[in-house]
Amino acid sequence: MIIFFEDYTNYHLNKVDASNWSYVVAGHGFGNAEEQYYTDRLDNLFIDKDGLHIVAKKEEYMGRCYTSARISLKKLFKYGKVSFKIKLPKLKGTWPAIWLLSEDIKARHNWPECGEIDIMEFIGRVPGKIHTSLHCKTYNHLLNNHRTKVIDINDNEFHEFVYYWTKDGFSIDIDNVHYELFKKSAEDDYNSWPYDQNYFLIMNMAVGGYFPGAVDANFIQDEFIVKYLKIETIED
C-alpha cells in the first residue's frame, strides 16, 4: 500500500504541503558541529518544475554564516520501500541527506538508542560516492563502529534510488544497480537492532561539520534537488 507520494514537478505552490511536512528552524550544530542555520524561508527551500530545492547559502543569519533547510515527514511507518530521484550538490562542505529517526526520539531524546537509518548521505569533498548507514546504541559513529557502506555512483545529473527496509534487513538500488546492505542476525537485540518500530523521514542539507569537513572557500550557494519521493509499506 502506498502511504505517501510527492511528485514535486506537479506543484504550483512554492512551499511544501504543511499537512505532510514540518520545518526544523534552528542552528545549534546538531551534535555534528554543523555551521548552517535551518530556516523555513523560500530562499532555502522552494518547489518549481524541476522539483524540491534545498538551497544552502553563505550569509550571516542568527549567529551563523550559512543557511539551509531541513524538513520532517509527519507520517510514520515501519518497514517500507522508499523511492526518490535526486540531484546532488557539488561544493565542498555540503552534506545532503535523506534519513529516518524513530518516533521514540521525540519523547525521550534518546539518540542513538532509538536508532537512525541513513538512507543516503553525500559529502561534497568526496564526489562520486554515496554513504548509507545505521546507528544504534551498540553501533554508532561516536564509537566509530557503525554499520555503513560506501557506494560509487556515476556522473549522471540525477540519480534514482530505491531503498528497502524489511524485518530482515536493508538493501538499496542506485541507478538500477542492486546492493545488499545490512542483515539482522539472531544475536541482535534492541541495542544493536532497534529498527523494528515506527520511524519518520527527514530531508536536509547541512553545511560543514565533522563529516563533510571544511566548507569551500569560494562557497556562495549550492542546492540539493528532489524530483520525487515515494514511500510504500512492506508487510511484516
Q: What is the CATH number of domain 2-11+74-233?
A: 2.60.120.200
Confidence at residue 2, expressed as pLDDT on a 0 to 100 scale: 83
Spans of all domains in the chain = 2-11+74-233
Distance from C-alpha of 111 to C-alpha of 146, rounded to nearest angstrom: 13
Distance from C-alpha of 195 to C-alpha of 131, rounded to nearest angstrom: 18
List the Cα angle 160/140/55 in 5-degree steps: 40
Per DSSP bridges, beta strands 36-38 and 45-48 are unpaired
Residue 93 in contact with residue 221, Cβ under 8 Å? no
* DSSP string computed for the chain: -EEEEEEGGG--SSS--TTTEEE--B-S-TTTT--EEE--STTTEEEETTEEEEEEEEEEETTEEEEE-EEEES--BSSEEEEEEEE---STTEEEEEEEEETHHHHH--TTTT-EEEEEE--TTSTTEEEEEEE-SSS-TTTT--EEEEEE----SSEEEEEEEETTEEEEEETTEEEEEEE--TT--TTT---SS-EEEEEEEEESSTTT-SPPTT--EEEEEEEEEEEEE---
Q: What are phi and psi of 106, to 5 degrees?
A: -65, -35
Distance from C-alpha of 170 to C-alpha of 182, rounded to nearest angstrom: 5
Residue 186 in contact with residue 171, Cβ under 8 Å? no
Q: Identify the segments of the chain with pLDDT beneath 70.
A: 12-13, 236
Confidence at residue 31, expressed as pLDDT on a 0 to 100 scale: 93
Cell readout for 150 is 560506501
Confidence at residue 12, expressed as pLDDT on a 0 to 100 scale: 66
Rg of the chain over Cα atoms, rounded to whole angstroms, equals: 17
Confidence at residue 13, expressed as pLDDT on a 0 to 100 scale: 65
Residues designated as active site: 116, 121
Per DSSP bridges, beta strands 159-166 and 80-87 are antiparallel
Confidence at residue 236, expressed as pLDDT on a 0 to 100 scale: 65
Cα 174 to chain centroid, rounded: 15
Confidence at residue 53, expressed as pLDDT on a 0 to 100 scale: 96
Cell readout for 233 is 509499506
Its pTM surpasses 0.85: yes
